[in-house]
Amino acid sequence: MPHTEFTVHPVSPTLGAEIRGLDLSQPLRPATASALADALDRHLVLVFRGQALSDADLVRVSGHFGPLDKAPITENGRLHAPGHEEVYVISNVTENGRPIGALGAGESVWHADMTYLETPPYASSLYALEVPAEGGDTGFLSMFAAYDALPEALKRRVERLSIKHDSTTNSGGYLRQGFAPPTDVATSPGTVHPLVIAHPVTGARALLLGRRPHAHISGLSVAESEALLDEIWAAAVRPELAWHHRWRVGDLVMWDNRWTMHRRDPFPDDQRRRMHRTQIAVPGRASENAAA
């Protein structure tokens, strides 16, 4: 049944919906939070325009969806918003000669967040505080659509394969602090996951690719793994399947990190971009997290 407090407007044929009618700076009723979690399950990406959120609001709103992770380690260390270890800062801005956030102004390649963990985060939310006049759009791809796009023979070939998700570099290509540059993808650090996963309720199949750089398919030589990965990425990660969000200040975008990948366009480094992100570790019952 449609929820009466907000309306849902799909933004692309494969994923994404804009949610209208909610002011997230105000407390969310448990039933509303629960309906939003259902909408996230269904649409994989939710966009809320025109919000005015403090970091505490961002933590509270995200906390309705489940417990939050701490900000990840980046090329500049573990950068978080003052007073909020869960709020990861993504920015090209420097203050007193030091970066305040991660990922600079370059492209962030297609990836899902922190798939180098045994249990990657369920969802992420990204809130825009400052945006450049050009560039910096964030793209999303449904990994169900990516799987469906594979030719049948390739689907059969990848069905039982596993893939190592690199833990040394982030999506901007930067080495995470404390890691050595990977020299051999067969032995470099990371976590192995099945390449094809199935939705626990619907059974729909999805690809779990993580990110292309430094990935390795278990049991294959590096040359065989590289060739097969290139084939899978070319067949599955297609621009026509993706949807890109053009940011405005005050936008909050949430995505289901298990069934999507995302990327970011580069933007001019003399323009400021400042985003605050939270990561939801596992789905929580929205009503139980209502006060979080």
Binding site for ligand SIN (CB under 6 A): 90, 103, 108, 138, 171, 262, 264, 275
* Closer residue to ligand SIN, CB minimum distance, 60 or 264: 264
| Nearest distance, CB of residue 104 and ligand SIN, angstroms | 10
User: What's the 3-state SS for the chain?
Assistant: CCCCCCEEEECCCCCCEEEECCCCCCCCCHHHHHHHHHHHHHHCEEEECCCCCCHHHHHHHHHCCCCECCCCCECCECCEECCEEEEEEEECCEECCEECCEECCCCEEEECCCCCCCCCCCEEEEEEEECCCCCCCEEEEEHHHHHHCCCHHHHHHHCCCEEEEECCECCCCCECCCCCCCCCCCCCCEEEEECEEECCCCCCEEECCCECCCCEECCCCHHHHHHHHHHHHHHHCCHHHCEEECCCCCCEEEEECCCEEEEECCCCCCCCCEEEEEEECCCCCHHHHCCC
| Nearest distance, CB of residue 10 and ligand SIN, angstroms | 21
* Closer residue to ligand SIN, CB minimum distance, 36 or 105: 105
* Closer residue to ligand SIN, CB minimum distance, 131 or 217: 131
* Closer residue to ligand SIN, CB minimum distance, 32 or 169: 169
* Closer residue to ligand SIN, CB minimum distance, 93 or 161: 93
CA angle 85, 90, 94 (to 5 degrees): 100
* Closer residue to ligand SIN, CB minimum distance, 76 or 108: 108
| Nearest distance, CB of residue 13 and ligand SIN, angstroms | 22
| Nearest distance, CB of residue 175 and ligand SIN, angstroms | 16
* Closer residue to ligand SIN, CB minimum distance, 51 or 171: 171
Residue type, 121: P
| Nearest distance, CB of residue 93 and ligand SIN, angstroms | 13
Q: Which residue is nearest to ligand SIN (CB)?
A: 138
| Nearest distance, CB of residue 155 and ligand SIN, angstroms | 28
Asked if residue 31 lies in contact with residue 60, where contact means CB atoms within 8 angstroms, the answer is no
| Nearest distance, CB of residue 264 and ligand SIN, angstroms | 4
The single residue listed with the structure tokens 């026509």 is 240
